[in-house]
A and B are shown apart, each in its own frame.
Chain A
Amino acid sequence: MDNKRLLAAIAISIGILLLFDVWNRPAREAQRQAAQNVQQSQTTGQPLPQGNTALNPAGVASTSPNDGAPTTPAPRIRIQSPRLEGSVNLRGARIDDLVLRDYRETILPGSPNVRILAPREDNASYFAQWGWTAADGRTAIPGPNTDWTADGTLTPTTPVTLRWDNGAGQRFEIALSLDTNFMVTAEQRVVNTGAEPVQVLPWARVRREHTPHLAGYYILHEGFVGVIDGRLREWKYADAKMEAQRRNGAPAFESDGPGGWAGFTDKYWLAAVLPADQSAPSHAAFRATQENGQDRWQVDVTPTGAMTAAPGATAAYGTRMFAGAKEVKLLDAYTTDLHIKDFYSAVDFGYFWFLTKPFFYALDWIYGVVGNFGIAILIFTVALKALFFPLASKSYQSMARMKALGPKMQEMKERNKDDPAKMQQEMMAIYKAEKINPAAGCLPILIQIPVFFALYKVLFVTIEMRHAPFFGWIRDLSAPDPTNLFTLFGLIPWDAPAFLHMPAWAIIMGITMFIQFKLNPTPPDPIQAKLFSFMPIIFTFMLASFPAGLVIYWSWNNLLSVAQQYYISRHDRQTQRLEKAAARP
């Protein structure tokens, strides 16, 4: 009766949601269209904005011609390495065109490579840039529209140098070099041939002129990230925006410290800048600003004070810029080889890093052996279960002796059948008197929670699961299972709304969970017990949109729990039978 009512309530709720979605869809489309139009009109024919008010004070702005968009196409030189392809924009000395050759957007063959940095003309403008601020207020510095000169192609074997002469006695140079992975090293030099000393503040920045599409999961950090002043700093875009507004446009976060790094992290990608000399004092800031109603995000690093170039001398400042995939081993290598403070923490291993990191290495090792990340997940889960097996089996050993107590228990239950609390109490008293107990206890269960959460987290954050295939229809473990019950797995040509997505693996997960719950003891409280019986349904819907790899892991974990309990209780029955046979004359 109660169940029927609940099912009816669920059915009606789904119906309302469905109606709302259908009714609302045209409105949403129109809204998106409008937003796109606005964006386009803003990016075309708009002057290059002065990015950073603090670093480019108003007094200096006059030296950089900012008025009107430049009419000639920006000169560029190519970037080419085994893993990167793109170009350096010589107008403004920025890298705003970079794709990762090893990674593709989708699993389809011929899908475009993942673009990490994109030019201003693009709707997803994202770039790294090097420049100076005139700390003395009079030195002519290169501006955002300055055309630099350079020759050649930037490759791991051929560095390039960008040059610009301010015509007032100072030569500016940016020497760029590239390694075989994702790291660009830049040296900014001011060669002073004038008669007066000049004071400049060199800076390197990564600027993002749109808010990326966020995966939006609680257990995953996306946004500003960096190790500044020795500590890992993580700011979500929304939080940084709020803090910057509260501080009237000042950086949401800034700090001095030796070394460190700062950038933007997506689920799998990172773009960051850092001082090349990790022992020298440096300054880093996270900034959130608005420009024509558009959000602009920026991280920058500078020396802690202006640099002076005496007449005939050179003031140099070295930085690095990482733009690429957050491969755990690569980040580890940069951390040790380039002595970058905690660079590996760009991968969000969370509070349980002491568990998640070893788990990752174990998984990666198994993956190296078996060659499939899905299989590696299954094997590693079995290993974890085996580790906890003695704890589980210990508790079931007393099961046999429990059975002998059956009649006594039955009698006690009869006596107290109207008072469940009293029954529990007496039952526990019997357990204590007979020195047996069927439950494992809370401690062994609580110990397992962080362990399985840690595994879940590893599977969620690591790039190794991205585009990794499994059996059958699963061709990307990091994406939701594409099959859908509501289209009868493709038989009905119907574009089901997003919330009506019920993939095959989620259903398998729901069934395994249901069986496992059947074997678990129910909570003593009747309301909790009721909730308990609906948990598999709730979780099936909740996990429907989760990465397939996690749903497969969860199903497998449930299945192993069931198998373990089945094995233990069968083993138990056998020993009992043997005991009985031995007792017979």
Chain B
Amino acid sequence: MSSASFAAEALKIGVRTYQFTLRPFIGAHCRFHPHCSAYAIEALSEHGALRGTAMTARRILRCNPWHPGGYDPVPAAKTS
């Protein structure tokens, strides 16, 4: 496993931990489908640690009451 994908896996474990600990506690308030945490896991798998984190950060910033929300899947990775 390369160090980059290791970082992505570690981050994914972090998100999973959030899903099973903090999330039940604060409730799921996401305005999007898929939910931000599911989006994070998918983005990390598809785009790696760096881009995945950046995309997740953008997604969470968009997930506020002034954004309409809705269906917003992770864009597919470019296959070249």
Contact = CB atoms under 8 A, between A and B. Distances in A.
To the question of whether A and B form a pair in one complex, the answer is yes
Interface stretch (A100-108, A177-185, A433-441, A472-480): A433-441
A16 interface: no
A523 B22 contact: no
Interface residues of A, number: 34
B1 interface: no
B51 to A, nearest CB: 19
Contacts of A566: none
Given A428-B71, A432-B68, A443 B60 contact: yes
Contacts of B32: 428
Interface string B47-76: 000000000000011111101111110000
B29 A531 contact: no
A241 to B, nearest CB: 29
Contacts of B64: 441, 443-444
B71 A441 contact: no
B28 A522 contact: yes
29 contacts: A394-B65, A428-B32, A428-B33, A428-B69, A429-B70, A431-B70, A437-B31, A437-B65, A439-B28, A439-B31, A439-B69, A441-B69, A442-B29, A442-B36, A442-B63, A443-B62, A444-B65, A445-B26, A445-B27, A448-B26, A449-B22, A520-B27, A521-B27, A523-B23, A528-B19, A528-B20, A531-B24, A535-B24, A539-B25
Contacts of A528: 19-20, 23-24
Contact of A429 (B25, B26, B71): B71
Ranked nearest first, the 10 interchain pairs of A and B with the lowest CB-CB distance are A432-B70, A520-B27, A428-B33, A532-B24, A441-B63, A442-B63, A394-B65, A437-B69, A443-B64, A428-B71
A524 B70 CA distance: 15
Nearest to A433: B70
B61 to A, nearest CB: 6
A432 B32 CA distance: 9
Given A428-B71, A429-B71, A531-B20, A524 B65 contact: no
Contacts of A394: 65
A391 interface: yes
Mostly, the A contact residues are helix
B35 to A, nearest CB: 7
Contact of A432 (B28, B60, B62, B71): B71
Interface of A: 391, 394-395, 424-425, 427-429, 431-432, 435, 437, 439-446, 448-449, 517, 520-525, 528, 531-532, 535, 539
Contacts of A532: 24
A531 B19 CA distance: 10
B30 interface: yes
Contact of B65 (A432, A441, A517): A441
Interface of B: 19-20, 22-36, 60-65, 67-72
B29 A441 contact: yes
A394 B29 CA distance: 13
B73 to A, nearest CB: 9
A168 B26 CA distance: 73
A523 B29 CA distance: 9
A449 B67 CA distance: 21
Contacts of A431: 31, 68-70
Contacts of B23: 523, 528
Contacts of A440: 29, 31, 65
A442 B19 contact: no
Contacts of A395: 29, 65
Contacts of B67: 441
Contacts of B29: 395, 439-442, 444-445, 521
Given A440-B29, A517-B24, 18 more contacts: A395-B29, A432-B71, A437-B31, A437-B68, A437-B70, A439-B69, A440-B31, A440-B65, A442-B30, A443-B61, A520-B26, A520-B27, A521-B28, A523-B35, A524-B35, A525-B19, A528-B20, A535-B25
Nearest to A396: B65
A446 B69 contact: no
